[in-house]
Amino acid sequence: MNGLEISPFIAALPKVELHVHIEGTLTPALRWRLARRNNVPLPYATYDELLESYNVLYNHRKEVHGDNGAPTFLETYFAGTQVLCQEDDFYELGMAYLEKARDMNVRYAEPFFDLQAYLPRGIAAATVLNGYMRAQREGAERFGVQSNWIMCFIRDRPVEEGIATYEAARPWARIPGGHGLFHAVGLASNEYDRPPMLFEKAFQMAKQDGLHTTMHCDVDQKDAADHIHEAIFDVLGGHGTERIDHGLNALDRPELLQGLASKGIPLTLCPHAYHRRQATDVLFPKLRRLWELEGVKWCINSDDPTYMHNVWIDGAMEKVYHYCGLSKADMVQLSRDAVEISWADEKLKAELLQELERFEEKDC
């Protein structure tokens, strides 16, 4: 991880994770085991070859750089989902993340899931969602990590397919009479020529059901700032989304920063994901600037840790701590901000804030 070790302070800091794709936590070991269990062929002859495939940077985008024959990041990520077939597979993936979260002192998480990736393969919504729901319940009991999950629309697939997926998932939503697995919808995958407003109808449906809304505005993509503009000012009948995932290009235009601040829309940032593409002395001054700005809240997350050099939330926090030159008290404040940005219920938020207060008295 760029030579940084996780310090005892960052390891012990109580954490909240709001931007992690559950499919982006699939370890090579679990992928290998599930491929065998489900007779899914992998394009790697040996486990070492599979491990090696995780070392690639996946920096190029076909629309921008042309097809160089290598898979893009998202192609690699979706290839990983092929080994997930049975309810137990989804359960084990969820439990593996929540156990790892416990080990990193993550107390609460809001993992994304891509149901839409499985339905075209003939996997029933119930198979996926019952597996994740068992993990949600057991992970809270066994590991003490509470979670509310987020269903993402896959934005480079047809909008109507996303809406049909939402309808299939609805019984597992946190709505009256629902199972309570997920409490929000998001927007992920390739945003090239797929702005947030295309999904207005889908977001309106979820909002009417009382769910929260968030959307990816990935960093330095084509039209990134325009997508942020739509997410703040246009979506949901002009009310705007409740949160933006990434959204770092808001720094490019003053009206975007003003919009985030005035509407109280926070950013879930994933510093290591950007550090793969931006130099240290370019990226971290931007985060430092965002830290010093009044009014725009943000928090630190991992995104897709197993496909991003195995850097998890603790590694992402260590980078911000070290390269932004923040104090211990600043890092506690970032954890506090994550609690406030989260959609945990008020009781849990109060408990987490109390724990952070005790931690600050003892460790800062």
Q: How far apart are CA 50 and CA 66, in angstroms?
A: 25
**Taking the complex as a whole, how short is the minimal distance between the CB of residue 6 and ligand ADE, in angstroms?**
22
Amino acid at position 237, single letter = G
**Taking the complex as a whole, how short is the minimal distance between the CB of residue 212 and Zn ion, in angstroms?**
16
> Which residue number, 19 or 286, has a Cβ lying nearer to ligand ADE?
19
Told to check if 110 binds ligand ADE by CB under 6 A, we report no
> Which residue number, 183 or 246, has a Cβ lying nearer to Zn ion?
246
Dihedral sign, CA of 260, 265, 266, 271?
Answer: negative
The bridge status of strand 149-154 relative to strand 243-246 is: unpaired
187 near 153, Cβ under 8 Å? yes
Per-residue contact flags (x/-) with ligand ADE for residues 149 to 188, judged by CB under 6 A: ---------------------------------------x
> Which residue number, 21 or 107, has a Cβ lying nearer to ligand ADE?
21
In the numeric block, which tokens belong to residue 90? 């989804």
> Which residue number, 207 or 216, has a Cβ lying nearer to ligand ADE?
216
> Which residue number, 87 or 304, has a Cβ lying nearer to ligand ADE?
304
Told to check if 195 binds ligand ADE by CB under 6 A, we report no
List the single partner that 189 binds among Zn ion, ligand ADE, none, CB under 5 to 8 Å by kind.
ligand ADE
| 267 beta partners | 244, 298
Three-class DSSP category at 10: helix
Told to check if 18 binds ligand ADE by CB under 6 A, we report no
**Taking the complex as a whole, how short is the minimal distance between the CB of residue 74 and ligand ADE, in angstroms?**
6
Binder of Zn ion out of 89, 303, 314, 318 (CB under 5 A): 303
> Which residue number, 110 or 303, has a Cβ lying nearer to Zn ion?
303
> Which residue number, 113 or 359, has a Cβ lying nearer to ligand ADE?
113
**Taking the complex as a whole, how short is the minimal distance between the CB of residue 144 and ligand ADE, in angstroms?**
26
Binder of ligand ADE out of 34, 72, 77, 135 (CB under 6 A): 77
Q: Number of residues in contact with ligand ADE, rule: CB under 6 A?
A: 9
55 near 311, Cβ under 8 Å? no
> Which residue number, 116 or 136, has a Cβ lying nearer to ligand ADE?
116
216 near 187, Cβ under 8 Å? yes
- Rule CB under 6 A: which of 24-63 touch ligand ADE? 24
**Taking the complex as a whole, how short is the minimal distance between the CB of residue 361 and Zn ion, in angstroms?**
34
Q: How far apart are CA 48 and CA 258, in angstroms?
A: 49
Position of tokens 């928090």?
299
The continuous run of DSSP H or E covering 91 comes out as helix 87-103
215 near 241, Cβ under 8 Å? yes
Q: 144-165 burial by CB neighbour count: b if 16+ within 10 A, else e?
A: ebbbbbbbbbbbebeeeebbeb
- Rule CB under 6 A: which of 309-348 touch ligand ADE? none
Q: Which stretch binds Zn ion (CB under 5 A): 30-38, 39-47, 139-147, 302-310?
A: 302-310
**Taking the complex as a whole, how short is the minimal distance between the CB of residue 218 and ligand ADE, in angstroms?**
5
Told to check if 318 binds Zn ion by CB under 5 A, we report no
Helix 125-143 × helix 159-169 angle, to 10°? 60
Q: Which stretch binds Zn ion (CB under 5 A): 231-239, 250-258, 297-305, 308-316?
A: 297-305
Q: How far apart are CA 353 and CA 360, in angstroms?
A: 10
Binder of ligand ADE out of 15, 19, 21, 275 (CB under 6 A): 21
224 near 201, Cβ under 8 Å? no
List the single partner that 13 binds among ligand ADE, Zn ion, none, CB under 5 to 8 Å by kind.
none
Cα 139-94-191 angle, rounded to 5 deg: 135
Told to check if 218 binds ligand ADE by CB under 6 A, we report yes
Q: How far apart are CA 136 and CA 130, in angstroms?
A: 10
Closest CA to 265 of 326, 328, 196, 319: 196
Binding site for Zn ion (CB under 5 A): 303
Binding site for ligand ADE (CB under 6 A): 21, 24, 77, 188-189, 216, 218, 303-304
